[in-house]
Structure 1
Amino acid sequence: MSAFLASPEQILLFGLASVFVYALLSNAIAKTIVTLPMIFTAIGYICSEPLDALISPEILNDGTRLLAEITLVLVLFSDASRVRFQAFKKTYSLALRMLSIGLPLTVLFGTVVVYALHPFGGLGVALLTAAVLTPTDAALGQTVVTGKTVPEELRNTINVESGLNDGLALPFILMGAILASSGIGGSHVDDLGKVILLQITLGPLIGLLLGWGFAKIMSAAQERQLMAEAAGGVAFLTVAFAAYFLSEAAGGNGFIAAFTAGMVFGNTYKSQIHFISEFMEGMGQLLTILSFFVFGAVLLPDGLAHVNWIPVTIAIFCLTVVRMVPIWVSLLGTGLEIRDKLFLGWFGPRGLASILFTLIIIDEYDFVGETSLLACVSMTVFLSIIAHGVTAAPMSKRIGAAR
């Protein structure tokens, strides 16, 4: 294969052909245990050696960072824009419990486990690793959220949780990254509080103002029939990236700003915002394909090069007890059956958000435990792609039959 992929053009053609074949066979593939992340992680891994030989590390690094930033801004904004404040507590009470109780407990439990197994990086790296591995990705078990065999209440809960926990995990990730980097030329300990405060306050403030302001302007233009409906897709891109860049320029965190802007925009805009979901259905899938390709081509080989029993053990813990125990605790008193709690706890696949956060954090911060973080994330996402992909269909049928 390396002989065949002897130039950037040949790698590009191979990638395009793979995407086209996947599109042609997408319905047939959906009926099997094979998933999109499995396919394009494997394709990326096949291309990893030719890419290393043909493209300089600087260009490859810049390209992956750009892809990660664009994808994460769009994912955070679009996911947050679907939340409706008025209906959230009543309609998505289970997801609210999992996000408000389960997510912080998962970060805390994960930090303890990582630090106990690998204390050499310090609490900062332990917190960062746990936080990066907290967001879930419903795409790794697509059958669970699209198949009709899973009860609607459980499907909606998993979908809403996976859509919001990446944004809500951001402050923990940010604190972990700043703490981890503070010891080797990053922020001084005295300045940590100020840096963290600026990052987690300016972002939401700028996102709130821009999300509200742009939504009001677009609503007025829509009411006066000044804006074509199809132009909404272009306009929302402007809002998302304006929030990101303005927050970064002001010293805040652009990703938190994009997440907040999406939430406020979705609740302020008076007309339907289906143009966001329509745009993300096509572009979002392409960005997901590219992200898992990059995972297979860049993160996975580097992670495997540094893997030992510690990252594998951390990955197994993160996919099981570190996730499932906090979710179980968050669902106490809801009246759910034991099987439903276990189902919601198990289907917390790690995927897109963990990949993107890792690419950005490693590029932006310098800290002692970079290789440990890389190995832990690579192993966790790799095992999750296989485990959740294989179990999605049979467990969906079983939970539906039990109900």
Structure 2
Amino acid sequence: MPTLAVDNFNIVCACLGGFITLFGLVSYLLKEKFYLSEALISLIAGVIFSPNAANLLKPEQYALHDEEVLNTITLYFSRLVLGVQVVLAGVQLPSKYLKTEWKSLALLLGPGMAVMWLVTSLLIYALVPHIHFVEALAVGACVTPTDPVLSNSIVKGKFADKSIPKELQKIIVAESGANDGLGYPFLFLPLYIIQHTGVGSDHNIGNAIGAWFGETWGYTILLSIVYGAAVGWIAKELLHWAEERHYVDRESFLVFAITLALFLVGTMGMVGSDDILACFIAGNTFTWDDWFRLETMDDSFQPTIDMLLNVSVFIWFGAVCPWKEFYTNDVIPIYRLVPLGILVLLLRRPPIVFAMHKSIHQIEEKRQALYVGFFGPIGVSAIFYLYITLDFLRKNVTVDGEPRSDAVYLMEVTKIVVWFLVICSVIIHGLTIPMSKFGLWLPRSISRAVSSARAESPEPFHISENPEDAEEINEGLRRRAGAGSSTAANILPRSVYRIGRTIIRSDNSSRSHSRGNSQAPLPLSNAPTISSNDLSNETSKQDPTSSNTHVNTSQPIQLNQRAIRFPDEVNPPQAA
């Protein structure tokens, strides 16, 4: 006998598929009209599905109620998303971009990241109780890199095309892709110092500095750069060779960058090096000659995978975020967390970008400097470094096989602070553009409404079937079209037309309309719109030499019909 199988797998598939389906139906409206980021919408959906609300997604059950397993799942999910994202970021940059724009990138990745790290750490040190400055440096390093996932909302879409110059978009993409992998040196310097200076350690700073240079810079950073460049170049040459001999089909060609990211994440993960930086370098090397980027510029497969990963990861974040711990923890009260989130977003990045903007040629104006400085989002990369930190403290900062007391406290502080800053960034950066648009739209709308109320204007939207009303509207149309007093009174065909906000019916068989008369509504969906240009063009077609030519009313005016198209198409096809 059939039975209901309401298990976790079916629920996850139903929630994820149902949300993405419903979101897709209004995706253009939400993203291009209301300027809402898909990360914010997905985060809200994750909260709704989480145990804190509907209890449909149950991360703790998936991890068998083991916190370490849940942390590992979140870490690997973040690694996968970041690996694919930074490869796509590298692929979409122009030919030899890292070589041609190395000065601007050096400023953003050198002094820029260093100041962001120090400012954030100072704020954490000032507002989090019972924490040392070295420990604050470890927490601040987690949120130093800008996030390539959240950066998509300001470098893609209608708002970016209208408001952000192309060169500025490219430098934002390059910085967000590169600094994710370069977060390791900022993170592991304080971690090694904590490991070698606490209770039960060797109390030797020299060993910490040696490990930082040898393991972090040598094995992690340099190895990932060399390996990523080699894999990217070999992959480019192999794809050229296969494409010239017609060995590769279109589907495999389009998915090549995605599979390259998966290969790099897996191989670099096995050797324990920096897979994120390797992915970014490989993406740049892979499209060094611009061939693959130009071949896939008009294809939508890579943006589609990008969207699916973004939506999925932020739904997961909404479900696993420790919401209750923000106000029930024992390490930092909520009245300290809120000012910390605000101050980090205001002081972490804008001052240093504004100070350097004259040396970065892509930033041409002070307004652009403030914009680039503010939109340095904290997202998936911060969660990635959070769980890297927790794993290191749990396994390496120990006494007799158990984590030290200072390491346990630091783990709790890092978890709460980083998660809270990520949530603040997703919400504030996700709402900044729509709120700014609303702030510009509201005063203009009020001003137009006041001006319209003072001016003489026809009544608002109404339907008229009264011949006298039709004659009055005809007279107004004659004046607007410049037709002259001898123009036929029957300028409108025998049909239903929408003129501005007024809809009339010029059918002689129409009955007089009265306010108390209840009639079936007119079918307005097929009523074409007539403008003054349409009327002028139609009259000129009859006799170009006379302005008093009568309009042939035997047939309705035929307006151009558009084929069904997506709203973001630039050149819609016109019917013959």
Structure 2 residue aligned with 1:356, among 363, 384, 391? 384
Higher helix share: 1
Q: Distance in 2 between matches of 1:238 and 1:345?
A: 33
Structure 1 residue aligned with 2:119, among 109, 112, 123? 109
Relative distance call for 1:162 and 1:248 in structure 2 (3 A) is closer
Correspondence for 1:48:
50
Q: Distance in 2 between matches of 1:159 and 1:395?
A: 23
Correspondence for 2:427:
386
Native 8 Å contact 2:85 2:149 kept in 1: no
Q: Distance in 1 between matches of 2:295 and 2:130?
A: 48
Instruction: Choose 313-322 or 184-193, whichever is displaced more.
Output: 184-193
Q: Which AA in structure 2 matches 1:290?
A: S
CA offsets, 1:365-393, max 9 Å, x none? 52431221222222212222222222213
Q: Distance in 2 between matches of 1:165 and 1:13?
A: 36
Native 8 Å contact 2:80 2:265 kept in 1: no
Structure 1 residue 220 and structure 2 residue 247: aligned?
A: no
Structure 2 residue aligned with 1:322, among 348, 356, 368? 348
Native 8 Å contact 1:68 1:360 kept in 2: no
Which secondary structure does the structure 2 equivalent of 1:348 belong to? Answer: coil
Relative distance call for 1:21 and 1:155 in structure 2 (3 A) is same
Correspondence for 2:175:
161
Structure 2 residue aligned with 1:57, among 36, 57, 65? 65
Q: Per-residue deviation at 1:278? A: 4.0
Q: Which AA in structure 1 matches 2:266?
A: F
Q: What are structure 2's unaligned runs of at least 5 residues?
A: 1-5, 395-406, 441-576
Q: Distance in 2 between matches of 1:255 and 1:163?
A: 9
Which secondary structure does the structure 2 equivalent of 1:284 belong to? Answer: helix
Relative distance call for 1:261 and 1:87 in structure 2 (3 A) is closer
Structure 1 residue 69 and structure 2 residue 110: aligned?
A: no
Correspondence for 2:282:
261
Q: What are structure 1's unaligned runs of at least 5 residues?
A: 1-5
Correspondence for 1:3:
none
Native 8 Å contact 1:201 1:252 kept in 2: no
Instruction: Choose 119-128 or 105-114, whichever is displaced more.
Output: 119-128
Q: Per-residue deviation at 1:291? A: 1.3
Q: Distance in 2 between matches of 1:155 and 1:79?
A: 11
Relative distance call for 1:291 and 1:271 in structure 2 (3 A) is closer
Q: Percent of counterpart pairs with the same letter?
A: 23
Relative distance call for 1:169 and 1:63 in structure 2 (3 A) is closer
Structure 1 residue 82 and structure 2 residue 123: aligned?
A: no
Q: Per-residue deviation at 1:350? A: 1.9
Instruction: Choose 225-234 or 199-208, whichever is displaced more.
Output: 225-234
Native 8 Å contact 2:146 2:376 kept in 1: yes
Q: Distance in 2 between matches of 1:186 and 1:72?
A: 34
Which secondary structure does the structure 1 equivalent of 2:73 belong to? Answer: helix
Correspondence for 2:37:
35
Q: Per-residue deviation at 1:397? A: 8.9
Native 8 Å contact 1:48 1:301 kept in 2: no
Relative distance call for 1:7 and 1:240 in structure 2 (3 A) is closer
Q: Per-residue deviation at 1:127? A: 2.7
CA offsets, 1:73-110, max 9 Å, x none? 11122212333464567679766643444223212322
Native 8 Å contact 2:180 2:277 kept in 1: no
Structure 1 residue 345 and structure 2 residue 373: aligned?
A: yes
What value does the CA root-mean-square deviation take over the aligned residues?
3.5
Relative distance call for 1:171 and 1:141 in structure 2 (3 A) is closer
CA offsets, 1:192-216, max 9 Å, x none? 2332232222222222222222222
Native 8 Å contact 1:45 1:301 kept in 2: no
Larger Rg: 2
Q: Per-residue deviation at 1:325? A: 0.9
Correspondence for 1:150:
163
Relative distance call for 1:178 and 1:249 in structure 2 (3 A) is farther
Native 8 Å contact 1:140 1:349 kept in 2: yes
CA offsets, 1:12-46, max 9 Å, x none? 42332222111111122122254322222122223
Higher relative contact order (CA 8 A, sep 6+): 1
Q: Which TM-score applies when normalising by structure 1?
A: 0.82
Correspondence for 2:20:
19
Q: Which TM-score applies when normalising by structure 2?
A: 0.60
Correspondence for 2:312:
290
Native 8 Å contact 1:299 1:374 kept in 2: no
Native 8 Å contact 1:123 1:180 kept in 2: no
Which secondary structure does the structure 2 equivalent of 1:315 belong to? Answer: helix
Q: Distance in 2 between matches of 1:119 and 1:295?
A: 27
Q: Distance in 2 between matches of 1:216 and 1:398?
A: 51
Which secondary structure does the structure 1 equivalent of 2:247 belong to? Answer: coil
Q: Per-residue deviation at 1:281? A: 1.0
Q: Distance in 1 between matches of 2:264 and 2:200?
A: 29
Q: Distance in 1 between matches of 2:290 and 2:150?
A: 31
Q: Per-residue deviation at 1:319? A: 0.6
Native 8 Å contact 2:119 2:347 kept in 1: no
Q: Distance in 1 between matches of 2:48 and 2:102?
A: 41
